[in-house]
Amino acid sequence: MADKPVILITGASSGIGAETARAAAKQGYRLVLAARSQAKLAGLREELGGPDKVLTVQCDVQNGDDQQRMVSQALDTFGRIDAVFANAGRGGKPGGFSEADPEVWKDMILTNILGVGLTIQHCLPALRESKGHLLLTGSAAGRTTIPGSMYSASKWAVSAIGYGVREELRGSGIRVTLIEPGMVDTPFFDEPPGHALKPADVANAVMYAIAQPAHVDVNEILVRPTPAVE
């Protein structure tokens, strides 16, 4: 068991994070699962093998102390981190730039941008040691212009973070992958979208990138639902 690789996933309690945990467990990974509510992770821990295989950590990604504790607990428990999936994020609300609630903006920006940056900063020492893999949840919304969308702006920032950290880490042996899904049917939405990817589809993209040999660095995966048949 001690030689099994370890993946750390933020935003792991539901949606893309939870499905990636399931997919990684099937591939033999030990799991560090982080979310704001540790209670929501308990069922997933038992489903995927219990405490010998799964560490759950309460972590608000906006909080640097939480993130440092997350990494410390991971290393204390499993001794290594081979892959990090900085997946925690949140969406916005209607209103555009004219009428949206700025407090919603603030929480979203701190989660989607600062949170990703803090995950990278605190996990990099362990990834340098393992010559591991860093994956970030961007979005198709970070590749196009969406009128009035601060969410899109935050995901443009994640794209920029991915490009920037890849250059910073060039020659380190650490691979960096941006995972950029289109519409996904997750608890992200109050009303389920009618035509969307499933979280497992995105998890498959994550595991494809991780599964490549060390000399192959999948920089970006942009994945959208197939257009509806007319």
Active site residues: 151
Structure-token match 């942009």, residue found: 222
For strand 133-137 and strand 175-181, is the pairing parallel, antiparallel, or unpaired?
parallel
Contacts of residue 125, defined as CB under 8 A and 6 or more positions apart, other chains included, come to none
Q: Which two tokens stand for residue 203?
A: 């998890």
Contacts of residue 181, defined as CB under 8 A and 6 or more positions apart, other chains included, come to 16, 137, 139, 140, 197, 201, 202, 205, 223, 224
Among 85, 122, 113, smallest CA distance to 10 is for: 85
DSSP state of 187: T
Among 5, 2, 11, smallest CA distance to 202 is for: 11
Q: Which two tokens stand for residue 11?
A: 């935003």
